[in-house]
Amino acid sequence: MTIRTFLRVTIVYLENARALVQGSLVLLFAAIAYWVHLEIGILLVAIMGLLLVQSSYTDWCIPDPFLRRMGFKKKLE
């Protein structure tokens, strides 16, 4: 491994950060369904699914304003 490969910085875009947040929430809600309360966990997973469908049509998601404040930009900006 060369020093150039070691110091390479990966740019994370808004779309990637959004997918990371969404995937983490789905896993969290599935864990709630398994370990805490089945009905509440399934309800949370269903709401997350509806939000994923909404974000695929509008290209906007609830965490977008927070992620933009953290410095993430879209790929085409």
For 7-51, write each residue's pLDDT tens digit. Answer: 566 778 999 999 999 999 999 999 999 999 999 999 999 999 999
Q: How far, in Å, CA of 44 to CA of 26, rounded? A: 8
Residues of the chain with pLDDT > 70, as a percent, come to 87
Q: How far, in Å, CA of 13 to CA of 17, rounded? A: 6
Q: How far, in Å, CA of 65 to CA of 54, rounded? A: 16
Please state the domain count of the chain: 1
Q: Is the pLDDT of residue 63 over 70?
A: yes
Radius of gyration of the chain (CA): 16
Residue type, 28: L
pLDDT of residue 10: 73
Q: Is the pLDDT of residue 3 over 90?
A: no
Instruction: Show the domain range for 17.
Output: 11-64
The verdict on residue 69 lying in a domain is no
The 3-state DSSP class for residue 39 equals helix
pLDDT of residue 38: 97
The verdict on residue 72 lying in a domain is no
The verdict on residue 32 lying in a domain is yes
